[in-house]
Structure 1
Amino acid sequence: MSSDLPALVPIPVPATAVPIGITDPVVKARTELKAALAAIEVKANVPRRVSRTIDDNVEAARAFSRSNPALAGAAVIAAAVTVGGIVWGLVRLYTR
């Protein structure tokens, strides 16, 4: 007959967290250090964070262009006109 108690299922712990229940102080210190270093790497890795943000924005732009192709085209034209106007204005100010 099996026990009525539920089986203990290990809960996945993120790399930046320390699991509960560690009793050995040396193991706990090592685990805390490992988690702290992982957290520093996550926060300090700016190129990876920028890359993820750019990927998210590109995916959002693609989804928008799939759902509203006419508005996406108008947005591209408006952006091109804006950039062209800014460049034209800067060149005009420079040449005067």
Structure 2
Amino acid sequence: MTNFDAKPLPKTAVPAGITDPVESARAELKAALAAIEVKGNFPRRIEKASARAAVKARRFADDNPVGAIAAAVALAAVVGSAVWVIARALSR
């Protein structure tokens, strides 16, 4: 019995039911290489994380505009202070 509503397996999973040892080894190697690629691809991971953060920030700004403005001002103050401290340390 097949379930057509089921999600396809992720590329890092080994399908069940493989009886041939050669096919099983190939499937395990393919899944291991895919897992290494997913974990090691830092630019893609950073891009996905920044996209998630942008969505959260937009949702926060839509739900709480005053809080978003306060957060933006606080972030600007922190960054400005850090730049000032670094510039002052370098000028001495």
Q: Shorter-chain TM-score category?
A: 0.7 to 0.9
Q: Structure 1: how far apart are the matches of 2:52 and 2:23?
A: 38
Kindly state the Cα deviation for residue 94 of structure 1 after the two structures are TM-superposed. Answer: 3.3
Sequence identity, in percent?
51
- Which one of 14, 35, 58 corresponds to residue 39 of structure 1? 35
Q: Which runs of 5+ in 2 are unaligned?
A: none
Instruction: From the CA coordinates, give the structure whose radius of gyration is larger.
Output: 1
What SS class does the counterpart of residue 16 from structure 2 fall into? coil
The equivalent position to 2:20 in structure 1, one of 19, 24, 27, is 24
* Total equivalences in the alignment: 90
Q: Which moved more, 1:42-51 or 1:82-91?
A: 82-91
Distance 1:13 1:91 in 2: 52
Does structure 1 residue 67 correspond to structure 2 residue 63? yes
| TM-score in terms of structure 1 length | 0.80
Question: Deviation of residue 83 (structure 1)?
Answer: 1.8
